[in-house]
Structure 1
Amino acid sequence: MDRYGFVRVAAASPEMRVGDCDFNKDRIIEMIRRAEAQQIEFLVFPELCITGYTCADIFRQTILQDSAVKALQEIAEKTRGSLMVVMVGLPLNVKGRLYNCAAVIQDGAVLGLVAKTYIPGYNEFVEHRWFSGAEELETPDIHIGGKAVPIGNDLLFVCEDNDNLGFGIEICEDLWVPVPPSGYLAQAGAVLIFNPSASNERVGKAAYRTSLVESQSARCVAGYVYASSNIGESTTDLVFGGHNIIAENGILAAQSERFLDSSELISYDIDVIGLLSYRASLGTYRAGRNASRYRRIAFKANPVRRDTLQRRIERHPFVPSDRSQRDERCREVLSIQTSGLMTRIRRTGLSRPVIGVSGGLDSTLALIVTVRAMQRLGLPASQIIAVTMPGFGTTGRTYNNAVQLIKGVGAELREINIREACLQHFKDIGHDPDIHDTTYENVQARERTQILMDLANKHNGLVVGTGDMSELALGWCTYNGDHMCMYAVNAGVPKTLIRYILQWYAENEADEAIRGILLDIIDTPISPELLPPSGSGTIEQKTEELLGPYEAHDFFLYHVVRWGAPPAKVLRLAEQAFSGTYSREQLLAWLKVFYKRFFSQQFKRSCLPDGPKVGSISLSPRGDWRMPSDMSPTLWLKELEEL
């Protein structure tokens, strides 16, 4: 495992010949050498790969059985001096019964033999004709090369220097049963699951096989590595495609092409520390407490140093890169927001939503959500009180977009200029309006919130909040200003996703006039517009020039909150994700801003208004996130300084 908690795993399907143990042994050794060159730490081969899976009644021949054991010993010897953990499959005769086993090898030694638990005997599978299940074993170990080796389905392999790095093995059919052994292995501490398999091809089976691996990796909160036999197996009645799959916590990380007439290997860097952090947050994860049912088998640590990660690091983790998935994400988020607001309006009886519309991204999304909620409630959009409140920093572009959008959706337009009220307030508190400090900005934000709240009281309405999750993370909102509302529909939506949601709405639900307004809003620089514009009337106060780009801050937020990543790891991941776009120095500077603000602004999140969770992260103190408002960031900032 490297210093950031990643381990490189691989699944291999070597070229093979049925029953030719020497040929298969040589191909396996070749693949081991290839994997070593790629700094792979865990390598799994297919089920019964030393003999081939399709030997049928020939499995009963002692010459094949003895040849397989001899090949295993030779493979083990070839790994001497290597800390890579290798898993190969072979049949073993134990006291007159044959068992389908996976041998675990490291540094010249066979560490353990995992016997298959579930032996299929249906449809094209007649494995029960030759093999017994692990429960029929009558001995806890067998001798190979004069050494006792543990055997069974109760083996948990644990790193001798790190109790948190453990793995388990289940074999082919074990995954397809209602309660796979991997679930118990994961609860006992296995963060990696390996599956040596021989799964034949049928129409539609590959997709189902992939879904099994993905879903089991999610249930286990683990990395799942699946290696299957290739076309070298017998084609008497079946064809095998060499389908190798790697998944991590429900996400398909890598998979091989099928039906290739060559040795194939796929690899991926699994985030072990991230998985362990997520497990720690799941209160029900260890409910089974199954560690006592397993024998712990030690393997040696394999410290590695790598320059690059063999892993997709999404630049925008909240935004799917695939267009169809992104469209579905946008549609679903809008539906969650809309349903939440509908229920709040219905339950409170406050059927006149009040919303401040600035012409920016956040208020536009909140207005769209409100319009959709009213439509589904069978209420006219004209009951929405949409207020535009020009201030000292309002530009013509945002003002016109706000007015046209309000008119376009059919809401009631109210325009209340806040300049005079703010000037009066400056006079009342003795503030010089020429000093454009925090007071200057926050007076405007609080004046707007006061207007919205009082309008809601006057018209028996409900103030719909506009602030998003990215602003909450950074505290980029005015306490008791735009920070406050009666229902915060955007509270769970990150800034990087909002543009795509508006674009989806523009393309799928908006009419042509609204579509044009939305596209211009999407292209408008992000700004609170609290400071005066430039002489030409353009936006002068640009948030991302002050804080750093939201795409970087959303990236930081995802890895800090979702995976518990420490600062050095977050920076390492960001460097790879934003390579060629931002320098290490820029990312480090923005990461410091993130940590300082994330810690210091928790007090704003501690009294957050109600709002729906829409994704994997929420900063609500009543939901996913609880943190002291006066927590010290020293530990985190110290690590950043050392970088």
Structure 2
Amino acid sequence: MRLAGAALNQTPIDWTTNLRNIREAIEQARAAQVELLCLPELCLTGYGCEDLFLHDWLSATALEKLQQVRAWCTDPQMVVCVGLPVRLDGRTYNTACVIRNQEILGFAAKQFLANDGVHYEPRFFNSWVAGTTTTVELGDEQWPLGDLTFEHLGVQFGFEICEDAWRPAEDRPAPRLTARGVQLIVNPSASHFAMSKTDVRYQLVLKASRDYQVTYLYANLLGNEAGRITYDGEILIARNGELLKRNQLLSFKDVDLEYTDVDFSQEPAVTEEIVPLPVPDEYRELNQALSLALFDYLRKARSRGFVLSLSGGADSCMCAVAVAELVRLGVEELGAAAFMRKAGCFSTADIEHVAAHGTLPPAAEATLAVDAGRTQQVLPPAGNQQLATDNPQLTTTLNQQLTRRLLTCAYQGTVNSSDDTYLSAKELADNVGAVFFNWDIDQEVRGYTGKIEQALGRPLSWQTDDLALQNIQARVRAPSIWLLANVLNCLLITTSNRSEAAVGYCTMDGDTAGSISPIAGVDKDFVKKWLVWAEKELNYPGLHRVNRLQPTAELRPLEDKQTDERDLMPYVVLNRIERLAFYERLGPSQVLERLREELVEADREQLKTYVQRFYALWSRNQWKRERYAPSFHLDDYNLDPRSWLRFPILSGGFGEELAAL
């Protein structure tokens, strides 16, 4: 039997797009003479519909739209498995519908619901009880639903839907299915991306195929579906512990189909040892996931690009590179013209010119940027008519041109800003091809401080008003950059990282202002290491300067030599406390004990001070984490209360626990 999985880039309740992708997958499978096609979990509605799954109309509409899918399944030799919700008697079930030759054979229902990390499935769905069935009706027709097995071309198959496969052996459906003679287990999934997670998923699928002596077919969702969560589109086909097919992850395509042939008439030897994947390259994984997440966010938000307050520090530089990589990776996989069409923010004339000549037309590159009061043309008009795909230098130029259309940056300096950060921002913007503006905000700062000094009848000083004077600088930057984003109809990127979120090292309505916070799920130490990697491996010489700077907010006078780690603590210590406290879920005394075991050379009292400082700052800044712009889930955990970690806004602040240290 020729088995196939198709990863689909879907969007919640975008019926037109979702159905188009499903139809494209079916047509590709038919052309490849596939005999069983697995589509991802809830691909008809989208996985991220949230509380809409509790609405009767959503499941009713999905069942009606399923009839369109049914009409496309005309091949009697091909079974298609489609994910959708079914609502019965006020309860919603997560199902996979099996269709053959325009006939619905039944709906297999998910038995276990994900309820950890970013998942809250029990809020929306009910678990199906193993060994039971019912019926679902539409008009004069009715079909079985529940714990079902199916037969196609002499092969018995059944389902584990995503979380079903992650349960212990004594609970999961697999052993019950094999006891009923199933030879093939099909797993439609919506398994979120996290760095290094693919290795866990690979082991899970191969081990299941070996332990239960079956063929195992796995197909995942693809792309940034609903805003925060990205799916890597992994497709795995394994038999008795042997990997038969695995695709390249995190594709920019809407449909990624992979297939292989399995001879069910033969009994291959069981593979005793599962060969592990090579150690994942987390820097490269993050780069691909971040780029795809930003690209999908851009086009699904129907925006025309991004605006970024480029401070020259590590975080904003990482965001700028992410947009440039969005262009490079998208063009590399799709081709420039197809990338531009999919982005949805380029004119037909520009797309046609790129398709014909490999560059944007000269008129498009005559846009002038203002930098420090001078007018300059950042990129020269494109004169080479050779196609970009034939010329690496021309490809680089085209990528810069496209990045210039998608990314506008501004350096907003004050008297406390250094030449180093200005040059860092300027050099990187030039390197990636972004539009770059430079203006200062000292006049605006003086206007606000002057009003308050007049109201209070006293001058503001660094001795008495340190934090307020820092915050007003960060806050004053927001209105201008927001205005620029609004004028350009672009998404405003905010640049906070996870380490800053943990301790509230940010200014609300200042450096946190924005439409999207792409790196809020990544810790600062990783950001710094990633930039060093990107300078060398991705060839961004514009990162040379920032990689030699100490992270600093540059909000105090320059002679103070302010740095983040002097204000807080070393980032590696901060990140370790955060992980022990909220990933491993240890109490303050346990965290301190672990730190002292791990950092034997560190001063014991200093570690105690760091732990006390972390918990005090964490507790008083939950309200900030509640207000962050939407962020991407990229690591194995994050601090977003709307996706991974909930914490009370008001609390005792670990008072007794910290006093007992």
* TM-score bracket, shorter-length normalisation: 0.3 to 0.5
TM-score, structure 2 normalization? 0.47
- Larger Cα Rg: Structure 1 or Structure 2? 1
